[in-house]
Amino acid sequence: MSELTLTLIKLGFLALLWMFVLAVLSVIRSDLFGAKVDSRAAASAAAPSATARTPQPVKPVKKRKGLPGSVTIADGPQAGVGATLVEEPVVIGRGSDCQIRLDDDYSSTRHSRLFLSEGQWWVEDLGSTNGTYLDGQRVTRPVPAEIGGSIRIGRTTLNIAK
């Protein structure tokens, strides 16, 4: 057996080992770099939802008078699930005692809370791991929740409506 053949076998085996590692990494790449969204599917999904939901174009409506009446999950498999805002506070999170139960790996068990105080609804973060965002701003202390606002928790977006 020549020296060259032995070296080639050696390097070939190492290459094979690394090929396995890379194959595994390519299988789980969505874990490492985030899920890949098919651009066409994304466009078609975004088009109808842009009219149905209340994103940027409708934002001016936000300053409308009146108390918010409901909070609803805007997208994903749980779209439409929500709760009406009456007297009692509404807790959002993954726990079974929450009024709105999210199926979202990135939300905490008791993630955030909406409550009525001083004639106004407020959004409060309950010390969640990944934070609560109201209209893109991280909620660090209770902030007023207004109609048309959107709350982001983990990968879920919730809309506040009348």
Partner 1 sequence: MSIASTSVIQIIPRTRRGVELFLLLIAVGISVGAYVNIGITAQGGVPASTGLYAAGIGLLALVAHLALRFRAPYADPVILPCAVLLNGLGVAMIHRLDLGLTSVGKTKGVPFAPQQITWTAVGVVLFVAVIIIIRDHRRLQAFTYTLGLVGLVLLVLPLVPGLGVNIHGASIWIRVAGMSFQPGEFAKVCLVIFFAGYLVVKRDVLTLAGRRFLGLDLPRARDLGPILVAWLVSLGVLVFESDLGSSLLFFGLFLFLLYVATERAGWLIIGGLLFAGGAFFAFQTIGHVHKRITDWLDPLAIEGGQIAGGMMGQAWGGILGRGLGQGQPYRTLFSNSDMIISSMAEELGLTGLIAILLVYTLIIERGLRTALGCRDIFGKLIATGLAMSFSLQVFVIVGGVTGLIPLTGLATPFMTLGGTSLVANWAIIALLLRISDQARRPQTPAAPVSDETIAMAVQKQ
Residues engaged in binding partner 1 (CB under 8 A): 1, 6-7, 9-11, 13-14, 16-21, 23-25, 27-28, 31, 35, 37, 41-42, 45-46, 49, 52-53, 55-56, 70, 72, 74-84, 86, 88, 90, 94, 96-97, 99-101, 103, 105, 109, 133, 136, 150, 152, 155-157
CB of 124 to partner 1, least distance (A): 17
- Give the residue with the Cβ less far from partner 1, 56 or 119: 56
> From CA 24, how far away is CA 108, in angstroms rounded?
29
CB of 17 to partner 1, least distance (A): 4
CB of 142 to partner 1, least distance (A): 19
DSSP 3-state assignment of 152? strand
Q: Quickly tell me which residue has 């506040």 as its tokens.
A: 160
Residue 84 is encoded by which pair of tokens? 């009406």
Cβ atoms 144, 122 nearer than 8 A: yes
C-alpha distances (whole Å) from 81 to each of 18, 28, 150 are 46, 30, 15
- Give the residue with the Cβ less far from partner 1, 15 or 63: 15
DSSP 3-state assignment of 124? strand
- Give the residue with the Cβ less far from partner 1, 9 or 144: 9
